[in-house]
């Protein structure tokens, strides 16, 4: 699960999604930027939040304590991601992935909307640039929620 913005995006969006995946018995790897970029959360910042997250939610806390919820640095310091250049730690953690979730305009729409994966993928993001909206045939602030089975662009 590639996360994007700090604040509401992570706390009210991606962590509740991670929680639901954990409830279903899934192992969840949260990939966050290694270095700061705009308002994106970093892996170090997310690690610092884990004690507060554990205090607030028993499902997420159990996931952390059982190592079924892990935070891994992506190797990036950009609001986009080149998946051929992720950290060695993330590459190792992702080897057995059944699903990739890319969140945010940069990671999900601008750089990986047409990427082909060996596992299922979900792209989630809001279009925030008129040029991107035009290319996609949408409007500014339209949302993208796309599921793609393994091997499809």
Average pLDDT over residues 38-45: 97
- In a 13 Å sphere around the CA of 146, the CA atoms on its Cβ side amount to 21
Question: Is residue 3 assigned to a domain?
Answer: no
Question: Is residue 14 assigned to a domain?
Answer: yes
Q: What is the pLDDT of residue 134?
A: 97
Q: Helix (H, G, I), strand (E, B), or coil: what is residue 97?
A: coil
pTM for this model (two decimals): 0.95
For residues 83 and 106, give the distance between their C-alpha atoms in angstroms, rounded to a whole number.
12
Question: Is residue 103 assigned to a domain?
Answer: yes
Q: Helix (H, G, I), strand (E, B), or coil: what is residue 17?
A: helix
Residues above pLDDT 70, as percent of the chain? 100
Average pLDDT over residues 100-111: 97
pLDDT tops 90 at residue 82: yes
Question: Is residue 69 assigned to a domain?
Answer: yes
Say how many domains are in the chain.
Answer: 1
Domain containing residue 99: CATH number: 3.40.50.10880
pLDDT grade for 153, boundaries at 50, 70 and 90: confident
Question: Is residue 2 assigned to a domain?
Answer: no
Question: Is residue 64 assigned to a domain?
Answer: yes
pLDDT tens figures, 49-76 = 999 999 999 999 999 999 999 999 999 9
SS (H, E, C) the chain: CECCECCHHHHHHHHHHHHHHHHCCCCEEEEEECCCCCCECEHHHHHHHHHHHHHHCHHHHHHHHCCCEEEEECCCCCCCCCHHHCCHHHHHHCCCCCEEEEECHHHHHHCCCCCCCCCEEEEEEECCCHHHHHHHCCCCCCEEEEEECCCCC
Question: Is residue 60 assigned to a domain?
Answer: yes
What is the domain range of residue 76?
8-148
**More confident of the two residues 20 and 153:** 20
Question: Is residue 121 assigned to a domain?
Answer: yes
Q: What is the pLDDT of residue 102?
A: 98
């Amino acid at each position: 699960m590639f996360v994007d913005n700090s604040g509401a995006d992570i706390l009210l969006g991606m962590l509740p999604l991670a929680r639901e995946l954990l409830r279903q018995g899934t192992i969840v790897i949260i990939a966050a930027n290694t270095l700061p970029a705009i308002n994106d959360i970093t892996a170090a910042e997310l690690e610092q939040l884990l004690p507060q997250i554990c205090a607030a939610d028993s499902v997420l806390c159990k996931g952390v304590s059982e190592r079924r919820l892990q935070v891994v640095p992506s190797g990036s310091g950009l609001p986009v991601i080149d998946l051929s250049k992720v950290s060695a730690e993330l590459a190792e953690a992702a080897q057995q992935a059944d699903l990739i979730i890319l969140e945010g305009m940069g990671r999900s729409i601008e750089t990986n909307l047409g990427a082909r994966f060996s596992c299922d993928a979900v792209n989630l993001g809001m279009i925030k640039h008129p040029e991107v909206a035009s290319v996609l045939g949408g409007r500014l602030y339209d949302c993208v929620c796309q599921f793609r089975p393994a091997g499809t662009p």
